[in-house]
């Protein structure tokens, strides 16, 4: 069995950034395991631009953004294996993986970084009634078919869900010669980034039907049509509002689910809101020496934040391997509570002694807020009060805390993040 | 000229073919779809019922009990998944106890072994997640679950190995009676045969009516289901039924042989014999009723929903007999539940009828065993590595949810009666049946199918015919 200091599961943007920062933190023995035929993860199929505005102050396509990281991995001689799927990880950090050349093999890691990304929610998860013909795709699958295989999944398309992938695909399919008739969204607001609604729907006159859902799919062999209906505040279809669309394709962009089968298998505790591991300030999971970052931790909308988060995970894993990360049992732990309007926070706990000078806490709001404040309370004292013009569940928010302020009051126990009205 | 033509390649037709292939006869199975197991046999509860449901003395009762008895050995011979997990019929109030006792009595009359009525405590000890309202239950330890696709396929493959021909995409459109035998007009030309077995499922009435003046009518009765993720698969360990009503056995909760949890079916008559759509009301009813039997059901873990159609006949019994005004023409119809459970016995009965009528002689070299596809997950570390060294395709995972390798998919495509479409691969390997429902693997499986069939991606279908998965290539409209 081969030994490595750090084994990284997944070679998408998260795994790449973690590997690079671990190497910059002077760890020699690093291995990235990636099941796909190339590094770069989901970015390889995101051929639109808009990546890297924060990291590089320029607009790159997905593959270009990934390439900047892949080049660094190559330059730094970080080992990776492609077409290699990780099948199992034990709590002792023994990793079982498989590929065509080596068959099944095992490696022992001192630290593991989980960076497996996420998968799309399928139709079944929504229990959409109707037939089950050809022509129903999740938006990411359609994206792969169009952008990587050059195939057009359909000509007359209805999209359910206004997540970013759905919005991006509305534009892509239009450019490739399909007619996108409508995008329906169950919620009264879009799940995607504002800029995507403007650039992908409005610019192409594609109607966005908020508070609508698909209540029937017709067609026995191939989709022939779908029925949309308006929904009430509880998300229940309102009788009498049915509208029929003749189409040959239904795309679903109804959410992403972090891929945590491996994490669950090794005994990592998961957060029921994010479906990702529970982590502390170091992005260390409930298992010592096991770190998580990127979409496997919580679903991100901007890859720049994935890179930043993952660089931190790589640094912390390196510190752990070098014995520089104080044990959790020996230091004080603060709890982060998500208050009014905040669905979750990453991390969930903070050991001030283990944190960098500044820590970014990421979270999502539970509905659309206008002219409100993001507040942070340290026990009863309000330590942050940041005005935001508009906040929506589709856009991740963050707030920064400093080590200094958290160390100042040794008796305090809890930090609460909440949304407050003007 | 065939000796026997069997119409329909569901479990009934395949079981009949397998049993008839023991004899010296030229047999052909005609199927209108592209594959075996495309009708009712692909969408049902897959319960091998113990046999207490059907009225005493009925053919259903007799063949169910016999089928259940045969299923164990058959699953070993033909290598398909079958687990005798037992079933419980729940009763929620003392007032209903007589109904449970009546069911017990009927079971005894039908010859069901090991039946017992359990009180609340005994029931909850077996299944702690049952409803708090549980008052008593009927426990049938001989009930079991199968993989219906693999059962259907195993029967067909074994019949094929014993010389039975299978012709797909061949719909029987009309039948002419000849001096000796029948002339079948199909979508693929004419076929002559001395004897016919009508195992056409929902269309059994139409086929029957082509040759008989005694008209029959089958009514499609839809049953809708929700399938939950494997994380919910051990919520109950046995099949859990409510008390039956006049439409059927009610909405059950059961583990499947693959470790998922299945809820359903509803029972609503429909005019459309292809009406396998699910409905808002149906799916809502499934969740609601299932939750009456089992508490804390993780219904949010649903990964797919589907529906199947029962071929209901008014007499409420299987019809397996020579048609009285059509000599040499045998019906095997009205095979609604428990058709899966009964199929080994259905095959036996059909074969016995024809053997007698035709005076068939046994073959010298009947191959009774069939080996299922290789399952790498069942191998040891070393064995699996040896396999990958020989065939690297087994080291390449295509379906990440169910961990299905390229090697397994290739075998499913290349075997006799192999898979031709995405659904064909799915039924055989489970690729695409997991929690992402084919999101990751379908483009890859499409590629493999195109390569194997030496055709373009554009030609690949979901389930044959007009179910093409792609509409064209980028910008081809400009
Ligand atoms: C369709 C889509 C469009 C997007 N559009 C934009 C945009 O316009 N702008 C923007 O800034 N951001 C965008 N994003 C967000 C951003 O690209 C993602 O958040 C980012 O790619 C997540 O990185 P990751 O490394 O966590 O996950 P991924 O990119 O999914 O990488 C995970 C990697 O892990 C591998 N893996 C998983 N399990 C295993 C295993 N068991 N064994 C081996 N390897 C494994 C996978 O193959 C994959 O390569 C988009 C995301 C998606 C999905
Ligand atoms: C909701 C539901 C739940 C059930 N649950 C259970 C259960 O738990 N246990 C159990 O034992 N049974 C159960 N059953 C019953 C069981 O599924 C059926 O009894 C069994 O599958 C019937 O098999 P078959 O071969 O007769 O019909 P089918 O599987 O329908 O096969 C008939 C075949 O004939 C073909 N065909 C039709 N017309 C023509 C034509 N003109 N030319 C050529 N081919 C033709 C069709 O394409 C089809 O493939 C259930 C059924 C349903 C609907």
Ligand 1 centre distance from Cα of residue A44 (Å): 9
Distances (CA, A) of B333 to B40, B176, B319, B358, B375: 12, 20, 5, 21, 35
Q: How far apart are CA A25 and CA A17, in angstroms?
A: 12
Do the Cβ atoms of A131 and B276 come within 8 Å? yes
Do the Cβ atoms of A153 and B470 come within 8 Å? yes
Contacts (Cβ under 8 Å, ≥6 apart) of A394 = A163, A164, A189, A190, A191, A192, A193, A194, A301
Q: From chain B, pick out residues whose CB is under 8 angstroms from the CB of A155.
A: 471-472, 477
Ligand nearest the Cα of residue B342 is: 2
Q: How near does any CA of chain B get to the CA of A9, in Å?
A: 14
**pLDDT tens, B23-78?**
999 999 999 999 999 999 999 999 999 999 999 999 999 999 999 999 999 999 99
Does residue B415 belong to the interface with chain A, where contact is any CB pair within 8 Å?
no
Does residue B439 belong to the interface with chain A, where contact is any CB pair within 8 Å?
yes
Q: What is the CA radius of gyration of chain A?
A: 22
Q: How far apart are CA B292 and CA B99, in angstroms?
A: 18
- What are A329's two structure tokens? 């049992």
Do the Cβ atoms of B396 and A83 come within 8 Å? yes
**pLDDT tens, B79-127?**
999 999 999 999 999 999 999 999 999 999 999 999 999 999 999 999 9
* 3-state class (DSSP) for residue B202: helix
Model pTM? 0.94
- Domains in chain A, start-ordered, CATH in brackets? 1-119+256-325 (3.50.50.60), 122-254 (3.50.50.60), 328-422 (2.60.40)
**pLDDT tens, A345-404?**
999 999 999 999 999 999 999 999 999 999 999 999 999 999 999 999 989 999 999 999
**Per-residue pLDDT, A126:** 84
> Could you tell me what percent of chain A has a pLDDT over 90?
94
Does residue B456 belong to the interface with chain A, where contact is any CB pair within 8 Å?
no
Ligand 2 pocket test, candidate residues B5, B6, B7, B8, most atoms within 8 A of CB: B8
3-state per-residue secondary structure call for B10-67 = CHHHHHHHHHHCCECCCEEEECCCCCCCCCHHHCCCCEECCCCCCCCCCHHHHHHHHH
Q: How far apart are CA B183 and CA A50, in angstroms?
A: 66
State the average pLDDT over residues A330-344. 96
Pairing of strands A208-210, A179-185: parallel
Q: Which chain A residue is nearest to residue B456, measuring alpha carbons?
A: A151
Q: How far apart are CA A378 and CA A334, in angstroms?
A: 10
Distances (CA, A) of B81 to A318, B75, B413: 47, 7, 20
Predicted ipTM of the assembly: 0.93
Contact assessment for residue A13 and residue A72, using Cβ atoms and an 8 Å cutoff:
no
Which of A124, A157, A169, A218 best probes binding to B when mutated, by most B CB atoms within 10 angstroms?
A124
Q: What is the CA radius of gyration of chain B?
A: 23
Distances (CA, A) of A4 to A66, A79, A107, A257, B261: 24, 10, 7, 29, 40
Q: Helix B422-429 vs helix B406-414: angle between axes, to the nearest 10 degrees?
A: 110
In this structure, which residue's CA is closest to atom 20 in ligand 1? A303
**pLDDT tens, A220-272?**
999 999 999 999 999 999 999 999 999 999 999 999 999 999 999 999 999 99
- Domains in chain B, start-ordered, CATH in brackets? 2-41+149-217+316-358 (3.50.50.60), 84-145+220-313 (3.30.9.10), 376-459 (1.10.10)
Report the alpha-carbon angle B158-B276-A181, nearest 5: 125
Q: How far apart are CA B321 and CA B329, in angstroms?
A: 9
Report the alpha-carbon angle A259-A262-A267, nearest 5: 120
Ligand 2 pocket test, candidate residues B339, B342, B346, B465, most atoms within 8 A of CB: B339
State which ligand 1 atom lies nearest to the alpha carbon of A299.
19
Ligand 2 centre distance from Cα of residue B228 (Å): 23
State the average pLDDT over residues A112-126. 92
Q: Which of A127, A176, A222 sits opposite B302 (nearest CB)?
A: A127
């Amino acid at each position: 069995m081969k030994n490595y200091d750090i084994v990284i599961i997944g070679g998408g943007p998260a795994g790449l950034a973690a590997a690079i920062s671990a190497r910059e933190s002077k760890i020699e023995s690093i291995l990235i395991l990636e099941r796909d035929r190339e590094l770069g993860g989901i970015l390889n199929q995101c051929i639109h631009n808009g990546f890297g505005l924060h990291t590089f102050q320029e607009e790159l396509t997905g593959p270009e953004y990934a390439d900047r990281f892949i080049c660094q991995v190559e330059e730094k001689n970080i080992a990776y294996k492609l077409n290699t799927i990780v099948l199992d990880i034990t709590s002792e950090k023994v990793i079982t993986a498989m590929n065509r050349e080596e068959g099944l093999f095992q490696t022992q890691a001192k630290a593991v970084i989980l960076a497996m990304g996420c998968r799309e929610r399928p139709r079944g998860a929504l229990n959409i009634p109707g037939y089950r013909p050809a022509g129903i795709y999740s938006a990411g699958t359609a994206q792969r078919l169009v952008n990587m295989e050059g195939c057009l999944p359909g000509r007359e398309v209805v999209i359910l869900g206004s997540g970013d992938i759905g919005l991006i695909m509305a534009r892509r399919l239009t450019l490739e010669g399909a007619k996108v008739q409508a995008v329906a969204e169950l919620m009264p607001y879009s799940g995607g980034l504002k800029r995507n609604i403007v650039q992908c729907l409005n610019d192409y006159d594609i109607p966005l039907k908020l508070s609508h859902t698909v209540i029937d799919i017709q067609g026995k062999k191939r989709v022939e049509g779908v029925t949309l209906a308006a929904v009430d505040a509880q998300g229940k279809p309102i009788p009498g509002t049915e509208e029929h669309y003749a189409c040959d394709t239904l795309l679903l962009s109804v959410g992403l689910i972090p891929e945590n089968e491996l994490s669950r298998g090794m005994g990592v505790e998961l957060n029921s809101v994010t479906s990702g591991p529970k982590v502390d300030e170091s992005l260390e999971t409930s298992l010592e020496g096991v770190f998580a970052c990127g979409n496997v931790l919580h679903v991100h909308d901007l890859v720049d934040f994935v890179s930043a988060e993952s660089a931190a995970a790589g640094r912390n894993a390196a510190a752990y391997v070098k014995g520089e990360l104080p044990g959790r049992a020996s230091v004080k732990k603060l709890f982060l509570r998500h208050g009014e309007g905040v669905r979750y926070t990453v991390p969930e706990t903070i050991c001030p002694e283990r944190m960098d000078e500044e820590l970014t806490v990421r979270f999502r709001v539970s509905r659309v807020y206008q002219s409100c404040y993001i507040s942070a309370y340290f026990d009863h004292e309000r330590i942050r009060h940041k005005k935001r013009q508009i906040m929506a569940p589709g856009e991740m928010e963050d707030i920064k805390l400093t080590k200094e302020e958290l160390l100042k009051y040794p008796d305090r126990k809890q930090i609460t993040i909440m949304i407050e009205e003007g | 000229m065939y000796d026997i033509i069997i119409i329909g390649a569901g479990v009934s037709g395949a079981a009949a073919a397998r049993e008839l292939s023991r004899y010296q006869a030229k047999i052909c199975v005609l199927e209108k779809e592209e594959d075996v197991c495309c009708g009712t046999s692909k969408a049902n509860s897959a319960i091998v019922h113990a046999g207490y449901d059907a009225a005493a003395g009925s053919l259903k009762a007799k063949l169910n009990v016999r089928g259940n008895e045969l299923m164990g050995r058959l699953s070993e011979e033909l290598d398909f998944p079958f687990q005798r997990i037992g079933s419980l019929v729940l009763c929620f109030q003392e007032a209903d106890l007589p109904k449970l006792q009546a069911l017990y009595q009927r079971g005894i009359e039908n010859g069901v072994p090991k039946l017992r009525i359990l009180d609340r405590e005994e029931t909850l000890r077996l299944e702690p997640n049952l409803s708090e309202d549980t008052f008593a239950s009927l426990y049938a330890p001989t009930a079991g679950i199968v993989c219906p696709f693999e059962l259907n396929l195993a029967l067909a493959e074994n019949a094929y190995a014993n010389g039975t021909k299978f012709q797909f995409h061949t719909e029987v459109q009309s039948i002419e009676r000849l001096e000796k035998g029948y002339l079948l007009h199909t979508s693929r030309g004419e076929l002559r045969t001395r004897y016919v077995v009508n195992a056409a499922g929902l269309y059994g009435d139409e086929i029957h009516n082509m040759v008989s003046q005694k008209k029959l009518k089958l009514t499609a009765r839809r049953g809708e289901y929700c399938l939950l993720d494997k994380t919910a698969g051990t919520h109950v360990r046995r099949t859990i039924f409510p008390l039956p009503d006049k439409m059927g056995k009610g909405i059950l909760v059961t583990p499947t042989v693959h470790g998922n949890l299945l809820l359903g079916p509803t029972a609503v008559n429909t005019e459309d014999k292809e009406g396998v759509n699910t409905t808002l009301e149906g799916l809502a009813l499934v969740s609601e009723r299932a939750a009456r039997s089992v508490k804390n059901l993780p219904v949010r873990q649903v990964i797919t929903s589907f529906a199947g159609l029962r071929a209901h006949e008014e007499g409420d019994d299987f019809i397996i007999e020579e048609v009285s005004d059509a000599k040499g023409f045998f019906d095997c119809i009205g095979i609604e539940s428990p058709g899966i459970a009964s199929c080994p016995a259905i095959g036996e009965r059909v074969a016995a009828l024809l053997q007698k009528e035709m005076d068939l002689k046994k073959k010298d070299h009947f191959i009774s065993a069939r080996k299922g596809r290789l399952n790498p997950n069942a191998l040891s570390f070393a064995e699996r590595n040896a396999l990958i060294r020989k065939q690297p395709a087994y080291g390449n995972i295509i379906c990440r949810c169910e961990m299905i390798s390229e090697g397994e998919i290739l075998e499913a495509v290349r075997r006799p009666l192999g898979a031709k479409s995405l659904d064909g691969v799915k039924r055989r390997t489970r690729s695409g049946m997991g929690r992402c429902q084919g999101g990751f693997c379908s483009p890859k499986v499409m590629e493999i199918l195109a390569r194997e069939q030496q055709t373009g991606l554009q030609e690949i279908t979901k389930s044959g015919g007009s179910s093409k998965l792609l509409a064209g290539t980028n910008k081809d409209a400009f």
